[in-house]
Structure 1
């Protein structure tokens, strides 16, 4: 496994650590209660079982969970030591949070794509095309592609070769995961087209094209969240 792959696995595991902790709280699990098994958690959060294992290890080290061999995984504490440094899990209105994250992404990601068009290596571009293909194949098979979507946006950020941007990757990852969770994969066609447009522009060193394509991608995302928020508001009336 490459160093970048190890970093990505760690970042995703940290995201799922937060998701599992939120699940414990929202499901009102008590100390001593047993969590669903590894396979069920992987299905629930749309990630691989290896990511679930890493997330559970993190929660073990935080003193939240205990893995009992041959029995299962149990809640032993509900007070986290160091989860969710941005404090996003405390926000109840996930739709509003998704919108705020979408607004932040519009500010950040088009500029990041522009930098990637200047700085990406041929290996970076090859990897981005590979991720496009993986996402397209999973969409065609109606499989969960959240990890690959996160990988795509993370790799665009990585390709910018900007040290500060790399520190923002966890925020980008959180935003992608929040968007997919809220929208339930409703923009599959637009995702395919705009991802390809972004990578094509990066490949051609077209900075304006990369920035514009990413802005279009972010705008599609934001408009869908806005539409879903309106529907949710109407249901409550």
Structure 2
């Protein structure tokens, strides 16, 4: 059952990409009929119907009886991207989330180290110090951990990176939750964050990239989600 659900979510994402990224289908356009689209996507008609249902539920598509399936006229890109986040949220597990971080965050640390203003760098270092304090006091660090990583993403000065942060937050939240009783994770987090901060403070982008990668790989290993 989970496999079918997962496949239909993936197909919904593919159709959404055809609309928002490829612009193959514009607002008001009719989608190809069920037989044609299922053959093109190499899926069953049942899976296609489920994917379409997901997109209808999220306000992307509408079904007009006797006419077919259409892209909604008043579709809004930011809303559809939020919808994408919403309906994929349920199926993303810790491994997927950490792999996403592994792809994204080392490069974000690299560009942030190069592009951060002095004020942005100061905030990153302050949040890093607050995380250390929270860990040493055995206090919940979820909020400040999010701020630390968000500030790094913001310092890349790449507007699209901000769009990915809700996904990154899912991973951070899950990681903090899983690590609360894991002394090894806590120890590695302290050491890794210090390393990231030292390289960023020294404006060493290659070092910051490597330190961030090590940090995420440590978490995956310690939490046994490799």
- Name the TM-score class by shorter chain: 0.5 to 0.7
* 8 Å CA contact 1:125, 1:199 repeated in 2: no
Question: CA separation in 2, counterparts of 1:84 and 1:179?
Answer: 24
Tell me the residue number matched to 1:222.
Answer: 220
Q: 1:169 aligns with which of 152, 161, 165?
A: 165
Q: Which has more radius of gyration?
A: 2
Deviation of 1:135 after TM superposition, in Å, equals 1.1
Q: Taking structure 1 as reference, are residues 140 and 123 closer, same or farther at Cα in structure 2, changes over 3 Å only?
A: same
CA deviation profile, 1:28-67 (whole Å, cap 9, x unmatched): xxxxxxxxxxxxxxxxxxxxxxxxxxxxxxxxxxxxxxxx
Of residues 106, 113, 118 in structure 2, which corresponds to 1:110? 106
In 2 relative to 1, CA 103–140 (structure 1 residues): closer, same or farther, beyond 3 Å?
Answer: same
In 1, Cα distance between equivalents of 2:109 and 2:164: 14
Decide whether the 8 Å contact of 1:190 with 1:220 is kept in 2. Answer: yes
**Could you say what secondary structure the match of 2:160 adopts?**
helix
Aligned to 2:126: 130
| 1:202 equivalent in structure 2 | 200
1:90 aligns with 2:90: yes
* Consecutive unaligned residues in structure 2, runs of 5 or more: 1-79
User: Match for residue 16 of structure 1?
Assistant: none
Answer whether contact 1:119 1:159 (CA < 8 A) is retained: yes
TM-score, length-normalised on structure 1?
0.56
Corresponding residue of 1:154: 150
Instruction: Provide TM-score, normalisation by structure 2.
Output: 0.58
Q: Structure 1: which 5+ runs fail to align? A: 1-81, 230-237
* Aligned length in residues: 144
Identify the residue that residue 96 of structure 2 maps to in structure 1. 100
Change (3 A) 1:163 1:228: closer
Given the superposition, is the C-alpha separation of residues 185 and 157 from structure 1 closer, same or farther in structure 2, using an over 3 Å criterion?
Answer: farther
Distance 2:192 2:131 in 1: 12
Call closer, same or farther: CA 1:220–1:117 in 2, change over 3 Å. same
- How far apart in 2 are the matches of 1:223 and 1:178? 15
- The change in CA–CA distance for 1:171 and 1:205 in structure 2 (over 3 A counts) is same
| 1:101 to partner: Cα distance | 0.6
